[in-house]
Amino acid sequence: MITEARPLVEINQQAIRLLYKELGVVDAVRFLKQFTQGYGNYTQERDSLFANKSLNDIVSEIEKRRKK
C-alpha cells in the first residue's frame, strides 16, 4: 500500500495529541523533554557557581535550604 507523505509538522501534532491522550499531559511532557538537549554550558555554569567552595560548604548550603 502506497501512502502519500504527510508534512512533518502534521505528524508531530498527531503524535503529541496521542501522547497526551495515552500518557496525560505531565507524563507526555516528561517523555518529550528527554529528547531535548537543553541550553547553556553546565560545565562553565558549575565552575562559576561553585568556585572557591569546598564540598563541605556546598553540603552546608543544601542542609540550610532543606531546613527552611
- If the chain, 68 residues long, is cut into consecutive pieces of 10 residues, what is the mean pLDDT of each piece? 89 96 96 87 90 93 92
Q: Is 60 inside a domain boundary? A: yes
pLDDT of residue 25: 95
What is the pLDDT at residue 32? Answer: 93
Q: Which residues have a Cβ under 8 Å from the Cβ of 64 and sit 6 or more positions away?
A: none
Task: Please indicate, yes or no, if residue 28 is contained in any of the structural domains.
Answer: yes
Residue with the three cell numbers 538537549: 37
With respect to residue 46, please indicate whether it lies within any of the assigned structural domains: yes
Q: Is residue 31 part of a domain?
A: yes
The verdict on residue 1 lying in a domain is: no
Instruction: Report if residue 39 sits inside a domain.
Output: yes
Q: Which domain holds residue 41?
A: 8-67
This prediction has a pTM of 0.49
Which residues, at least 6 apart from 50, have a Cβ–Cβ distance to it below 8 Å? 58
**In a domain? residue 3:** no
Domains of the chain: total = 1
